[in-house]
C-alpha cells in the first residue's frame, strides 16, 4: 500500500478467517519501507512524465515493491499465499473516465514468485464509477462494530456502515497540511504542534468551506489533480497570511468538513496517518457529536493495507469486492487483475 504522502510502502501480512457469521482478521506482521528520495521525487512528478518516463517510473516503483516484499518475507519468514497490491495512484479523474495506478503485477509476481492481485480501480471507472473509495466494503466486513470509519490520509474519507453501505472522500487532509508544512522545512505537522501556534483566519476558512465539492452528493472522490486545480489557487491567494495561521485555518477546515459528514453516526473508528495529529482529532471531536475511537498504532498505520488484503482475498474467491452503492458504478462487481505466481 502506497498513498499520497509519498513517504514509502506499507507491507502487512494478514490472516483471515471466515465463520458462519463473520470474517475476522489478524495482523501477523507489518513494516514500513521508506522510499529513496529519488523514487519519492519521481512519483511526485509522475503525472508530468512523458509516456516513456511514466513507464520507467512504473518499473522503478514495481522493482522497489518487489524488493520490499522479498525482504519482508525473509525477515518474518512469511507464509503469505498471495499478494494484494494497491499500487500508487498517478492519475485519478473519473469524470473523464481516467484512473491509473502504477505497480506492475507482472513484475511483482515475477520477482517475488507469488500470485498478485492488483489494478482494483480501473474496472469500476470503466463501469462509470468513481473508482474510489474501495475500502468501505472491506470495512463493512472487518469493522462492522462501528457505525462508520474515518480515514485521515492524503484525503479524508468516510465509510458509512450498516444496511445501506456508503463511502466517499470528504476533503483534502494530509496532502493539504503537508503542503503547508513544507514551506517551513517540515515534512508534516507532527501532532498539530505547528497549527497550534496559529489562529484561525476566517476569511480563508470561509473561502475553503465554500468550495463546491462539499455541496456535491456522493458518490464522489478526490485526486491530486483536484487539489492542484481547486486548493492551490486559494492557498496562493492567502499566502500573505502567517504560515502558522494558515495551518491552524486548514486544520479547522478539515475538522469542520469531517465532523459535518459524521453527523447521525454514533461511533466512528479513526485511522490513517492524520490520526497522529492529535490537534486535528481534537478539533474534529470538538465539532462532532459522534464518539471517535482511536485504535492501536498498528491499526492506525496499516488499516488500509489490511483492507486491500481483504479485497484481494475476495477477488481470489471470485466474490464481489466493489460496491456500486459506494462508487456509483453501474453494478457491483469482482475487481482486480490476477497474475498467477
What does the pLDDT look like over 119-141, one tens digit per residue? 999 999 999 999 999 999 999 99
Q: What is the pLDDT of residue 6?
A: 79
3-class secondary structure, 160: strand
Q: What is the tens place of the pLDDT at every residue in 43-81?
A: 999 999 999 999 999 999 999 999 999 999 999 999 999
> What would the mean pLDDT of 314-318 be, rounded to a whole number?
98
Q: How far apart, in whole angstroms, are the C-alpha atoms of residue 79 and residue 13? A: 9
pTM for the model stands at 0.95
Residue of 160, 150, 145 whose CA lies nearest to 23: 145
Q: Per the CATH hierarchy, to which homologous superfamily does domain 8-134+299-339 belong?
A: ATPase, nucleotide binding domain (3.30.420.40)
Ranges of H-type helices in 143-288:
174-182, 202-209, 224-226, 232-237, 243-262, 278-287
First-to-last CA distance in the chain?
A: 20
pLDDT mean across residues, the chain: 96
- Cβ proximity of 294 and 281 under 8 Å: yes
- Cβ proximity of 101 and 91 under 8 Å: no
The bridge status of strand 115-118 relative to strand 82-84 is parallel
Instruction: Judge whether residue 5 has pLDDT over 80.
Output: no
Q: What is the dihedral of CA 264, 125, 8, 111, to 10 degrees?
A: 140
Query: Within the chain, which residue ranges are assigned CATH 3.30.420.40?
Result: 8-134+299-339, 144-296
Q: Which fold has domain 144-296?
A: Nucleotidyltransferase; domain 5 (3.30.420)
Amino acid at each position: 500500500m502506497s498513498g499520497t504522502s509519498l513517504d514509502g510502502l506499507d507491507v502487512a501480512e494478514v490472516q483471515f478467517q471466515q465463520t458462519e457469521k463473520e470474517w475476522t482478521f489478524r495482523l501477523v506482521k507489518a513494516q514500513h519501507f521508506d522510499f529513496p528520495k529519488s523514487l519519492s521525487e519521481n512519483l511526485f512528478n509522475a503525472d508530468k512524465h512523458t509516456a516513456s518516463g511514466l513507464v520507467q517510473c512504473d518499473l522503478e516503483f514495481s522493482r522497489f515493491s518487489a524488493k520490499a516484499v522479498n525482504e519482508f518475507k525473509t525477515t518474518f519468514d512469511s507464509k503469505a499465499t498471495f499478494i494484494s497490491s494497491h499500487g500508487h495512484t498517478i492519475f485519478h479523474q473519473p469524470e473523464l473516465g481516467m484512473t491509473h495506478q502504477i505497480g506492475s503485477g507482472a513484475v511483482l509476481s515475477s520477482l517475488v514468485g507469488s500470485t498478485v492481485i492488483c489494478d482494483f480501480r480501473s474496472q469500476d471507472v470503466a463501469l462509470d464509477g468513481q473508482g474510489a473509495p474501495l475500502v468501505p466494503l472491506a470495512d463493512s466486513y472487518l469493522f462492522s462494530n462501528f457505525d462508520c470509519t474515518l480515514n485521515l490520509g492524503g484525503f479524508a474519507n468516510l465509510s458509512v456502515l450498516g444496511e445501506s453501505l456508503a463511502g466517499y472522500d470528504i476533503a483534502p487532509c494530509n496532502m493539504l497540511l503537508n503542503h503547508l508544512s513544507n514551506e517551513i522545512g517540515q515534512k508534516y505537522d507532527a501532532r498539530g504542534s505547528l497549527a497550534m501556534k496559529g489562529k484561525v483566519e476566517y476569511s480563508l476558512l470561509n473561502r475553503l468551506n465554500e468550495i463546491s465539492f462539499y455541496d456535491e452528493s456522493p458518490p464522489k472522490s478526490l485526486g491530486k489533480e483536484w487539489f492542484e486545480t481547486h486548493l492551490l489557487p486559494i492557498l496562493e491567494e492567502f499566502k500573505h497570511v502567517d504560515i502558522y495561521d494558515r495551518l491552524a485555518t486548514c486544520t479547522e477546515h478539515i475538522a469542520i468538513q469531517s465532523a459535518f459528514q459524521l453527523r447521525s453516526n454514533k461511533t466512528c473508528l479513526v485511522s490513517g496517518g492524520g490520526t497522529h495529529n492529535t490537534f486535528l482529532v481534537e478539533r474534529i471531536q470538538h465539532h462532532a457529536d459522534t464518539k471517535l475511537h482511536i485504535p492501536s498504532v498498528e491499526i492506525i498505520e496499516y488499516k488500509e493495507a489490511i483492507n486491500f488484503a481483504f479485497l484481494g482475498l475476495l477477488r481470489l474467491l471470485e466474490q464481489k469486492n466493489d460496491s456500486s452503492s459506494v462508487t456509483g458504478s453501474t453494478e457491483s462487481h469482482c475487481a482486480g487483475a490476477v497474475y498467477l505466481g
